């Protein structure tokens, strides 16, 4: 069984998005694309001025957005008439398909807001599908817990614990792992998938080859392989995300990700002409 090692260690870049929400971006800058993953943002602050302006109404086409709230609340509204409030531990898995206009605004002006948004590409045959949502309350997400670790399974399977995201075309894995000091997390990844770890807190070692220190808010791109071994040098919390690559050319235009520039121009024209929402 081939061993998984570190391919690249990336410190996220501070940036802002929406109406000025401060965040740390890793995928979406360098690397610009880690097929099928288009963007990964960590947002989090105790200062309301860093997030209170939120993400006012904006469009998307051709991607999936996965929002995972660790702490705090967001209120979501969109052009389909759907609305809801995400609270700590909840997940919103949105397939934007042919187009959706939505807003994500903080539902509280005090306390800490902390979470992640991941953009996943859609294959060309699905980019113009009808938008679709999966809302997952925290109490619907199963957790494996033992004396060494706690594994929250959003997508995929860990031991006998399976996540609520099923029958997805990219066969994704999305785990939230808390690992005690001096303990190991061992997992078998699909050999076909591209995978990464995002370290939230603590310090870890990955694989058996020596590598630079990995500590707090760090993206770790992994080599393709099957046997993943993560050792916690301190109490650690990290995400493990994996998906089957699509292998198609992409064209980007802000919130639109299609396969050609002409499709991006079509999306822009649709939005400007008021024909974006199909």
User: How many folded domains does the chain comprise?
Assistant: 1
We report the CATH number of the domain holding residue 17 as 2.60.120.10
CA angle 108, 109, 115 (to 5 degrees): 60
Give the CA angle between residues 202, 205, 211 to the nearest 5°: 120
1 inside domain: no
Query: Which of the 8 DSSP states describes residue 165?
Result: B
For residue 111, pLDDT beyond 70: no
Rounded to two decimals, the pTM is 0.95
> Is residue 278 domain-resident?
no
Report pLDDT for 277: 85
Reported as a single tens digit per residue, the pLDDT across 161-183 is: 999 999 999 999 999 999 999 99
The residue range of the domain holding 264 is 6-273
């Amino acid at each position: 069984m081939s061993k998984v090692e570190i391919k690249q260690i990336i410190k996220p870049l501070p940036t802002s998005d929406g109406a000025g929400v401060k965040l740390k971006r890793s995928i979406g800058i360098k690397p610009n694309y880690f097929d099928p993953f288009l963007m990964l943002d960590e947002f989090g602050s105790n200062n309301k001025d860093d997030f209170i302006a939120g993400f006012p109404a904006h469009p998307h086409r051709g991607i999936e957005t996965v929002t995972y709230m660790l702490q705090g609340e967001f209120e979501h509204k969109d052009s389909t008439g759907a609305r809801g409030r995400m609270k700590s531990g909840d997940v919103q898995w949105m397939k934007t398909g042919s187009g959706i206009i939505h807003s994500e605004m903080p539902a509280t002006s005090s306390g800490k807001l902390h979470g992640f948004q991941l953009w996943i590409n859609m294959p060309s045959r699905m980019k113009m599908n009808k938008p679709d949502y999966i809302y997952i309350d925290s109490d619907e997400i199963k957790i494996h817990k033992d004396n060494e670790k706690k594994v929250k399974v959003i997508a995929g399977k860990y031991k006998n614990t399976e996540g609520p995201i099923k029958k997805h075309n990219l066969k994704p894995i999305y785990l939230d792992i808390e690992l005690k000091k001096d303990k190991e997390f061992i997992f078998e990844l699909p050999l076909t998938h591209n995978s990464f770890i995002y370290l939230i807190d603590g310090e870890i070692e990955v694989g058996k080859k020596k590598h630079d220190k990995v500590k707090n808010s760090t993206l770790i791109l992994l080599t393709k392989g099957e046997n993943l071994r993560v050792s916690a040098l301190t109490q650690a919390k990290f995400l493990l995300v994996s998906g089957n690559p699509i292998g198609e050319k992409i064209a980007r235009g802000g919130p639109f990700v299609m396969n050609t520039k002409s499709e991006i121009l079509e999306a822009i024209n649709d939005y400007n002409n008021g024909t974006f929402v199909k």
